[in-house]
Amino acid sequence: MLKYTLIPLLPFLSFLINILFGRNFIKDRAHWIAVPAVVGSFLLAVSAFLDVAGGRDINVNIYSWIVSGSFNVSVGFLIDRLSAIMLIVVTSISTLIFIYSIGYMHGDGGYYRFFAYLSLFVFSMLILVMANNFLLMYFGWEAVGLCSYFLIGYWFHKKSAADAGKKAFIVNRFGDFGFGLGVILIFLTFGSMDYMQVFGEAGGIAGQTINLLGYDVNLITLICLLLFCGAVGKSAQVPLHVWLPDAMEGPTPVSALIHAATMVTAGVFMVARCNPLFNLSEVAMNTVAIVGGVTAIFAATIALVQTDIKRVIAYSTVSQLGYMFLALGVGAYSAAIFHLYTHAYFKALLFLGSGSVIHALHDEQNMQKMGGLKKYMPVTYWVFILATLSITGIPFFSGFFSKDEILWRAYLAGDLGKFLWFLGTLAALLTAFYSWRLIYLTFHGKFRGTHEQEEHLHESPPVITVPLMLLAVGAVAAGWVGIPPIFAEHGDKIGEFLAPVLGYPEGEGTHAQEYFVMGASIFVAVAGWIIAYTMYLKKTELPQKLGAAFQPVYKLLFNKYYIDELYSKTIVQPTLKASDKIILGFDTYIIEGIVNGIPNLIGAFSRKLRKIQTGLLSDYGLIMAIGALSIIGVWIFLR
């Protein structure tokens, strides 16, 4: 099965060729290398998927990576049902976005560089997904972060872009700090990093404790929470969500691929992968669920008032990722992966659609300067509508099935679950509102941009619209593999497919309860839609009035709860200040003071001593006499 190592290697080759020869030789032909490579990966991924579906999991070690004493880690791949689905999601969306980028990045000075980074990203993401041990996953984990850094800061001459790239990397390092320690603790506990061995032995150490700063802590809980730190960073959950909205500084295809469909879902994938560990720790599970639920509602409230089209979608992403963690936390792993999969399509579509809009408006991202684009950009408009129907959970679109599954599983999961279900349903109301708000502000009403912009308004070329239409198919139909059993027996194909890896969630409710949960989510989806319709199409003066009436709330939301300011005041500024004032001062004045002080002291002493050397014979005679007398005196005294 060594041919499947080509799945990550093809994009890696594309990266090497483009980065080495792109600048001088390949230039704007970079896609001729990148696109075939990613298509190749996609085809191989399909083949791997079919193998796995046929019951043949693949688990091979390629070579021994690090050996040091008892420490031994290999580079090896595991393709089972979970990674097979991820492979399909990653490579299929990558393919569409690569094609889209041909049109979107056309004429950009760094065209070859863009495709090189994008290829490197796909390679890294595939390593992350295919790894068969924690350290190799960590490799992919850090490498996607690297690509994210490159691509967010792609237009590096802009300070905001350079800042955002740096911020993304450093914020993620906070999460990876925990993740890395978790990986180390896993090895020290199990003597291996290999998934199969670790998961196989996990049950045996349940209940063991470890002494941490004087407290006895459950070992598995500690491992899970450390791993989860990494997920919080990478998947932009509260409180490490701050980097993702800023990441929108990157080109739009990047936002779609990395910061919506694939990389940010790595945290979800990781927790799902580690389900045998998380299952053993209730504390860890509840933490995951609460963080997810809180993030879902928290990010949705911010999205309500943002005016930058990409930032609205970014906060929406944070919120949707929250749903996935909520699902993981209540043990509905397959529901989380299901939502990951449907979300990848409709969210990529939303981003690429907004890219099409931004492109048409020559880099305008403020929705208040848009409006009425419907008649100029019909394809973009209609795919946007389909994606919105999907994300807001209108029945029979993808998002409906996956979101409903999550809410239903939460509802069944005890008191905490009921509370989270309530949060999730409330967040769904907000989702519907801000999603339709985006549509109305952008596509309906009158055009509010400059006259010059209006003259150049046009639909995007086919290289952009065709990928949009293909993604729209996914946004509509991807969810049909997970139809709830009350509608069709064995309708939940994806859940059953994943059951061998992720288990099938327990808990049965009555049909009445299930219809109630479903009804509630349909109700809020429609309600949010109607509110947005009223506020942004019918009574357009209402948003202004509401904003004025609830000024403090509006400002709080518009400024994203001032979290960035908080971090700046409590972490960034103090570090820089400590560095500049305290540490550097200590180095310059205290240590250097002592170091330079000793020679100065000796110098001063010898300057004094020098005065004896007067050059006068009489002085020397006197000193010799005193010396001789002293010696004699001492000699007599001692005798």
Q: Following DSSP, what letter does each residue of 112-129 receive, concatenated?
A: HHHHHHHHHHHHHHHHHH
Instruction: Return the range that interacts with another protein (CB under 8 A); candidates 168-176, 361-369, 408-416, 468-476.
Output: 168-176
13: which residues sit within 8 A by CB, 6+ positions away?
Answer: 37
Q: Which of 71, 422 has the CB closer to another protein? A: 71
Counting contacts by CB under 8 A, is residue 558 touching another protein?
no
Q: How far is the CB of 116 from another protein (least distance, A)?
A: 10
CA distance 311 to 88: 27
Counting contacts by CB under 8 A, is residue 566 touching another protein?
no
* Binds another protein (CB under 8 A): choice among 100, 117, 121, 138: 138
CA atoms within a 13 Å half-sphere pointing along the CA-CB vector of 237: 27
Beta bridge partners of 64: 74
User: Token digits for 140?
Assistant: 């992919």
Counting contacts by CB under 8 A, is residue 180 touching another protein?
yes
Query: What is the gyration radius of the CA atoms in the chain, in angstroms?
Result: 31
* Binds another protein (CB under 8 A): choice among 53, 62, 206, 212: 212
**Residues numbered 579-618 forming contacts with another protein, rule: CB under 8 A:** 579-580, 583-584, 587, 591-592, 595, 599
Counting contacts by CB under 8 A, is residue 159 touching another protein?
yes
Q: How far is the CB of 159 from another protein (least distance, A)?
A: 5
Counting contacts by CB under 8 A, is residue 325 touching another protein?
no
Q: Which of 24, 618 has the CB closer to another protein? A: 24
Query: Nearest Cα to 231, choosing from 274, 188, 184, 283?
Result: 274
Counting contacts by CB under 8 A, is residue 516 touching another protein?
no
Q: How far is the CB of 142 from another protein (least distance, A)?
A: 5
Q: How far is the CB of 587 from another protein (least distance, A)?
A: 6
Q: How far is the CB of 526 from another protein (least distance, A)?
A: 46
CA distance 22 to 276: 45
352 close to 343: Cβ distance less than 8 angstroms = no
136 close to 65: Cβ distance less than 8 angstroms = yes
Q: Which of 159, 639 has the CB closer to another protein? A: 159
Q: How far is the CB of 208 from another protein (least distance, A)?
A: 15
* Binds another protein (CB under 8 A): choice among 21, 32, 65, 199: 65
Query: Nearest Cα to 176, choosing from 115, 110, 128, 213?
Result: 128
Counting contacts by CB under 8 A, is residue 216 touching another protein?
no
Counting contacts by CB under 8 A, is residue 188 touching another protein?
yes
Q: How many CB atoms lie within 10 A of CB 68?
A: 7
Counting contacts by CB under 8 A, is residue 163 touching another protein?
yes
Counting contacts by CB under 8 A, is residue 533 touching another protein?
no
Counting contacts by CB under 8 A, is residue 488 touching another protein?
no
Q: How many residues interact with another protein (rule CB under 8 A)?
A: 52
* Binds another protein (CB under 8 A): choice among 7, 10, 17, 19: 19
Q: Following DSSP, what letter does each residue of 263-313 receive, concatenated?
A: GGGHHHHHHHHTHHHHTT-HHHHHHHHHHHHHHHHHHHHHHTT--BHHHHH
* Binds another protein (CB under 8 A): choice among 77, 111, 117, 187: 187
Q: How far is the CB of 60 from another protein (least distance, A)?
A: 18
CA distance 158 to 232: 28
230: which residues sit within 8 A by CB, 6+ positions away?
Answer: 141, 175, 176, 178, 179, 180, 182, 267, 270
Q: How far is the CB of 177 from another protein (least distance, A)?
A: 5
Instruction: Return the range that interacts with another protein (CB under 8 A); candidates 165-173, 255-263, 460-468, 470-478.
Output: 165-173
Residue 68: strand, helix, or coil: strand
Q: Following DSSP, what letter does each residue of 429-453 receive, concatenated?
A: HHHHHHHHHHHHHHHSS---S-HHH
* Binds another protein (CB under 8 A): choice among 100, 169, 381, 433: 169
Q: How far is the CB of 568 from another protein (least distance, A)?
A: 13
Q: Which of 486, 591 has the CB closer to another protein? A: 591
| Alpha helices for 57-205 (secondary structure H) | 81-104, 111-130, 134-152, 159-190, 195-202
CA distance 624 to 628: 6
CA distances from 442 to 232, 304, 374 (A): 32, 15, 8
* Binds another protein (CB under 8 A): choice among 53, 66, 206, 488: 66
Q: How far is the CB of 69 from another protein (least distance, A)?
A: 3
What is the per-residue binding string for another protein in 97-136, x denoting contact by CB under 8 A? --------------------------------------x-
* Binds another protein (CB under 8 A): choice among 2, 54, 204, 213: 213
Counting contacts by CB under 8 A, is residue 214 touching another protein?
no
CA distance 2 to 11: 16
CA distances from 42 to 6, 89, 345, 472 (A): 11, 9, 16, 19
CA distance 307 to 310: 9
Q: Which of 224, 407 has the CB closer to another protein? A: 224
Q: How far is the CB of 406 from another protein (least distance, A)?
A: 33
Could you list the residues that contact another protein (CB under 8 A)? 19, 23, 63-71, 135, 138-139, 142-143, 146, 149, 153, 156-159, 162-163, 166, 169-170, 173-174, 176-177, 180-181, 184-185, 187-188, 212-213, 575-576, 578-580, 583-584, 587, 591-592, 595, 599
